[in-house]
């Protein structure tokens, strides 16, 4: 009798110990909040070119861990592909965002275009937007899976793609700026009505939102102001699970396109951005606590200095006007084959063949492809025009082959990829603005800083990759990396 009672007590005790052990093992330490900050068209060397004030970039440089040799491993180096790659840990060849624009079923679409949805806020007759073209998961999606969908994410940016792609497939909301209505808006993919706090923000800041946000510091001011309201009104970082806030500063890119790197207007935006980051870090410290949030800063791509800036100092540069290249190549092809517009479209250094025209005229596809590549290679600014399907047969550096392959998504990307001479970008010689999209260091070398939760200040110059960002964040949080991730965690 006593022995049986002892056995029962032993079973109860062992069961309790087992349950306690499993429970303790299941409690994974994570920060309260993850903040992803992407500065559009920020070159890596900007970290060191500017004399920063107190509390902003200087704090990131002093208290963060810097990866000074972070490279984008694909082309084209453009906004939509960059934002998608940062948060998925993979490249266009896998996540499907082949550029800012690409083809789906033969139709030219934007990266976040979704005609099954409509706009919410502003002009609600506008075309809808969603992350549906993104075919892999993101950091935010994996956070939700790891927390049984208790994690909450909000995406903020002036550009739609910069708000939508980072925040994943199921955020609380994603908000971007609609110039026509001078307000931040969203889409029916997320909700049918703007939250009161966003509507109130639009009303309160009507005058500021009616200014030229693209080319003035006000664009950065309004971006961070809305991000702060999202932090407060959605109670991010105050729930039982780790939340995420994605912020993209878009006017650094838009102004650079018009006025060029290191122009007074671009400089003024970076000075203001420095102040906005300083204020936002202070808000995070007060609301969440320095040791309770993980922040990373990077860029979706860099930027090539303008032709006038380079040539005025005797440095090599060049411009290639892509619309003219399309017309000129089509003229050559028409003379050869007697068919007009055998090249259908050009998007970000890629060209699409007109399959309907080739089939209708009963032309040999391979002959048209070879002729098109030869025609596109005629300008001295172009080093190679490559049939991507047969890229391994081209005598070009292996590193370039790999970047083209990693940027190519079948039936979305163009069949021909054009590699300009190093330092040449798409534009005109009289154009003072900067551009991007190529494989060069100017476009592919980006800043990367981690700061906050479990980050020891330091730096490395070893090679890291844009795709390592998502891998690093997920490894630190002990969650599965996004399902297409090919990156490697920065920290061992």
Average pLDDT, stretch 152-158? 98
String of b and e for 445-466 (b: at least 16 CB within 10 Å)?
bbbbbbbbbebeeeeeeeebbb
Lowest mean pLDDT among 19-23, 198-202, 248-252, 457-461: 19-23
Q: What is the pTM of this model?
A: 0.94
User: What is the structure's pLDDT at 73?
Assistant: 97
Average pLDDT, stretch 358-379? 97
Average pLDDT, stretch 331-350? 97
Average pLDDT, stretch 338-367? 97
The yes-or-no verdict on residue 224 having pLDDT over 90 is yes
User: What is the structure's pLDDT at 431?
Assistant: 84
For the stretch 370-383, pLDDT in tens is: 999 999 999 999 99
For the stretch 246-292, pLDDT in tens is: 999 999 999 999 999 999 999 999 999 999 999 999 999 999 999 99
> What is the pLDDT confidence band of residue 123, given thresholds at 50, 70 and 90?
confident
> What is the pLDDT confidence band of residue 26, given thresholds at 50, 70 and 90?
low
User: What is the structure's pLDDT at 126?
Assistant: 77
The yes-or-no verdict on residue 15 having pLDDT over 80 is no
Beta-bridge partner residues of 417? 350, 386
For the stretch 404-433, pLDDT in tens is: 999 999 999 999 999 999 999 999 888 889
- Joined together, the tokens standing for residue 250 give 């878009």
The yes-or-no verdict on residue 179 having pLDDT over 80 is yes
List, by residue number, the catalytic residues: 79
Q: What is the mean pLDDT of the chain?
A: 93
């Amino acid at each position: 009798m006593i022995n049986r009672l002892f056995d029962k007590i032993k079973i109860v005790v062992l069961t309790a110990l087992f349950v306690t052990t499993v429970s303790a093992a299941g409690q994974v330490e994570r920060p309260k909040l993850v903040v992803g900050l992407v500065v559009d068209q920020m070159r890596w060397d900007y970290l060191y070119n500017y004399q920063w004030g107190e509390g902003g970039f200087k704090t990131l440089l002093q208290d963060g861990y810097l990866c000074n040799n972070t490279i984008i491993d694909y082309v084209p180096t453009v906004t939509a592909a960059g934002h998608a790659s940062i948060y998925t840990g993979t490249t266009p060849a896998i996540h499907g965002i082949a550029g800012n624009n690409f083809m789906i079923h033969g139709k030219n679409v934007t990266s976040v275009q979704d005609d099954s949805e409509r706009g919410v806020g502003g002009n609600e007759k506008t075309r809808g937007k969603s992350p549906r073209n993104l075919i892999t998961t993101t950091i935010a999606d994996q956070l939700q899976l790891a927390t049984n969908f208790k994690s909450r994410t909000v995406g903020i940016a002036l550009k739609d793609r910069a708000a939508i792609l980072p925040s994943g497939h199921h955020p609380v909301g994603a908000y971007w700026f609609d110039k026509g209505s001078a307000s931040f808006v969203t889409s029916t993919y997320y909700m049918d009505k703007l939250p009161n706090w966003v509507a109130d923000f639009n009303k309160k800041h009507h005058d500021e939102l009616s200014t030229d946000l693209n080319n003035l510091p006000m664009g950065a001011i309004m971006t961070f102001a809305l991000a702060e309201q999202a932090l407060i009104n959605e109670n991010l970082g105050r729930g039982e699970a780790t939340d995420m806030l994605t912020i993209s500063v878009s006017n650094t890119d838009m102004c650079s396109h018009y006025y060029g790197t290191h122009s007074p207007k671009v400089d003024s935006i970076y000075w203001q951005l420095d102040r906005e980051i300083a204020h936002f870090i202070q808000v995070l410290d007060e609301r969440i606590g320095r040791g309770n949030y993980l922040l990373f800063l990077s860029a979706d791509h860099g930027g090539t200095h303008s032709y006038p800036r380079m040539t005025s100092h005797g440095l090599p540069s060049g411009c290639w006007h892509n619309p003219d290249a399309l017309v000129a190549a089509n003229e050559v092809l028409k003379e050869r084959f007697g068919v007009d517009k055998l090249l259908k479209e050009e998007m970000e250094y890629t060209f699409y063949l007109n399959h309907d025209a080739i089939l209708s005229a009963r032309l040999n596809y391979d002959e048209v492809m070879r002729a098109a590549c030869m025609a596109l290679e005629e300008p001295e600014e172009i080093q190679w025009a490559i049939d991507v399907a047969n890229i391994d047969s081209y005598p070009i550096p292996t590193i370039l082959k790999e970047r083209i392959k990693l940027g190519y998504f079948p039936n979305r990307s163009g069949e021909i990829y054009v590699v300009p001479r190093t330092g040449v970008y798409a534009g005109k010689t009289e154009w003072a603005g900067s551009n991007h999209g190529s494989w060069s260091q100017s476009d592919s070398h980006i800043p990367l800083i981690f700061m906050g939760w479990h980050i020891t200040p330091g730096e490395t110059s070893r090679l890291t990759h844009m795709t390592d960002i998502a891998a690093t964040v997920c490894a630190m949080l002990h969650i599965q990396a996004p399902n297409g991730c090919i990156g490697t965690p920065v920290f061992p």
